[in-house]
Each structure stands twice: as C-alpha cells, then as structure tokens.
Structure 1
Amino acid sequence: MIRTYLPAPTGAAETVADALRMLAAIGIVVAGVGWGPAAGFSLAFVTVGMFLPRLLGVRPGFDIAFGIVVLASVWSSVLDIYISTRWWDLPMHFLTNGLCAALVYIGLVRLGLLADAATLLRPMASTAVMTFALGLSLGVLWEIFEWFGHTYIDEEIFVGYVDSIGDLAWGGIGALLAGLSRPLMEGQSATARPRATSSPLG
C-alpha cells in the first residue's frame, strides 16, 4: 500500500528528494536532543509536510527545492538565525510562502476543490491570482501562529507590525511568482503515475 502512494524513485532527482526527507527525519532526533522537544516537533511537522510533493506527483526539481527551503526555514528557527540575522526572515518568507502556496494550489486542484486553470479562459492569470490569494492566506495564518507563540509559548519569538507587514508582502510576492511558474513545478499527477504491481510492503 505504501508503494501505491509513494512509489520507488525513478531517477536521480527523485532519489535526492527522498534523501532530503530521510535527512529531515534524522533531524527530528538531532533537534529534539540538542534543542528540546519544541525543536523536535518543528522538524517532525516539516518532515511530514515534505511528503506532500511526492504524494501530489510534482516535478522532482520542485520537490527538491521545497525540501531544501523548508529545511532551511525550520533550522533557521531552531538555530535562532532569524534573531541573529534579522534580514534572513524576508527571503525565507518569499521562498517558503511561494512554494507552499503553489503546493496547496496543486493539491486543491488535484482534489477537485479548485478548477484546473487549464480549463479556464486565461490559465496563467487564473493560476497566479489564486496562488497569490492562497499565499496571502498562508502568510496570515503564519503571523497568527507567531503571535500565539510569542504570547503563550516564548517571548523570544519576534513579532511586530512592521515585521508582519514585511513578511506578508514578501510572502505574497513569492506566491505570485510561484503561480506564474506553475507549469515548471507541476509534473504528472500522483493518481496517474504507474502503480507497483507487487511490493513486500503491501
């Protein structure tokens, strides 16, 4: 059953993407032991999210980029790079929010919750607008999460009006560009990929 939804890698790029997922899984233990349960939970959350590109059957290059960016983002938090290097927050929001918005968009289309832009009159514009909207929504949810963390978990989590607006703006720009680049990201649908006929895992 596992091979039905997560087939074995078929090329070097998919192997690299799977290696990143393995690295993220190892990071759960490293972060948990070295930086505490909260860091371990953050790595666990990211590790689970890194399987979504594979399940959705996006291009391996997008899968690799997503894995690298989210790992860089979460380790930047664990290592307090966002605090020591304030400007690092903006490029991370630009990249992470853009890739996440594109992934969410592709997932919603695959689930039939959004119309495939290819069926619309202006597919590129439609994709860009929807991905931009999803990116802003994800950005708002993240800022709420940061506020919650600052208020109830750790006051060291930096929040502020200027910071939030900057994060939303850069994240929105990243999402817009990701929407315009969708044809470069989306590969064969996971449901259309050939399924393994037999596997020791079922």
Structure 2
Amino acid sequence: MTPLTTPARTAGGRAPGSPARGPVPGDLVRVGALVSVLGAAVASDGVAVALFALVLGGTVVPRATAAPPALDVASGVVTLAAAWCAVAGLYERVEGLDLLVHGVATGVLAALAHHVLRRRDGAARLLRTRRAAAATTVAAGALLAVVWELLEVLGHTLVDDTIYVTPADTAGDLAAGLVGSVAAAWCVARRHPRTPAEARA
C-alpha cells in the first residue's frame, strides 16, 4: 500500500524527499488546472480565473515537496473538482454536496499539510510519534477549514455576493471540515512509522 505521507525511494534511486525530475501522475491534474485557468480566461470570467489559479498554485505544493503519488493526485483532483463544482453552481443544485466537498477536501489538505511539516527538520522531530502526527493533522485541518470559511466571506463581500454564506452554512462547513480532518488524522497515524516506544506498547 502506498503511504499517504511517507515517500519511498524510487526505482531510479531518487532519494526520498527530493522532487521527481520526470513526469508523475499528478502532473495530469496540474495540466487540467492550467487548462481550467485558460478556459476561464477565454470566457472572461474573472472570478473563475482567480479560483482556478489558486487551485493551480496549490497543486504545485505536493510536486515541490515530493508528496507520495496518492496524496499528490488526491489533493489535486479534490481541489480542482471543488473549484469546478463552484463554477458550475452545483453546490446550490445538489443538496449535501457542499458538506461532502468540505469534508473530503479539508481532510486531504490536512494530510498534505502534515507531509509538508514533516519535511522541516524542527517539525519532523516533534512529529515522531503517531499521536503527534494525528494531532497535527487535525489542527492543520481545523485551521484550513477556518481559512476556507474566511475566504468565502471575503469572496461574498468583495467579489461575488451570490456566494452562499450564512451562519448555518458556515457552521456546517466547519463541522464537515473537522470530520474530514479527523479521518485524515486516522489515516496518517496508521501509516506513520512507529517509534520504539510505540512498538513496545
């Protein structure tokens, strides 16, 4: 099983933690995000251009940090799909889709945040145990959920007042994000290397 947060040495001998030099599966998602930006630009939809550009920038993070292929593809597909759902107005037409996307996207991005933190020497020492890895993933997901809601409020106020923002919607989105973060923390902890103390327990 391919780990979500621990890159393995490649067949070509590439050292763990170094970005791949050749094409990787996640590059297809990045191409899709780029095409989405260009399509929105042709359609003269400034809001969509900004949204897809944000997604495109986000898809570079797993590539630059040598995320495992499964995490790379998952984070890109989920965020690009979330953006397309917004542009197509599916959140307003499909009941429950908003909560589902918030939960899945926040969980995947929380796992990606954990991966990025593990690459930093100081943080890596603090994340040696499974418990620390799980707690960090939940905390990262909670923070991402709050930032997402703040961006929605700013978007509603400054860009497009059709963006749906109500106290009930915000509370539901935050709850879904927290559930997704807890699920991601469980997956991260299961795949996290055990310390000697944990192995003896």
So what's the TM-score if we normalise by structure 2? 0.79
CA contact (8 A) 1:32 1:38 kept: no
CA RMSD of aligned residues (A): 2.1
Aligned: 1:157 with 2:166: no
In structure 1, which of residues 124, 131, 150 is the aligned counterpart of residue 130 of structure 2?
A: 124
CA contact (8 A) 2:142 2:178 kept: yes
Summarize the alignment of residues 12-161 of structure 1 with structure 2, pairs less than 5 Å apart.
14=24, 16-34=25-43, 36-116=45-125, 119=128, 123-161=129-167
So what's the TM-score if we normalise by structure 1? 0.78
In structure 2, which of residues 22, 29, 38 is the aligned counterpart of residue 8 of structure 1?
A: 22
User: In 2, Cα distance between the equivalents of 1:113 and 1:164?
Assistant: 34
In structure 2, relative to structure 1, the CA distance for the partners of 1:118 and 1:107 (3 Å cut) is closer
CA contact (8 A) 2:131 2:189 kept: no
**Which residue of 1 is the match for residue 12 of structure 2?**
none
Superposed CA deviations along residues 141-180 of structure 1, whole A, max 9, x for unmatched, are 1111111111222110001111111111111111111122
CA displacement at 1:53 relative to structure 2: 1.1
CA displacement at 1:50 relative to structure 2: 0.6
Superposed CA deviations along residues 20-43 of structure 1, whole A, max 9, x for unmatched, are 111111111112222612211211
SS at match of 1:114: helix
User: In 2, Cα distance between the equivalents of 1:25 and 1:99?
Assistant: 21
CA displacement at 1:115 relative to structure 2: 3.7
CA displacement at 1:94 relative to structure 2: 0.7
In structure 2, runs of 5+ residues without a counterpart are: 1-17, 193-201
User: In 2, Cα distance between the equivalents of 1:97 and 1:116?
Assistant: 25
In structure 1, runs of 5+ residues without a counterpart are: 187-202
Q: Which runs of 4+ in 1 moved over 4 A?
A: 183-186
Identical columns (%): 31
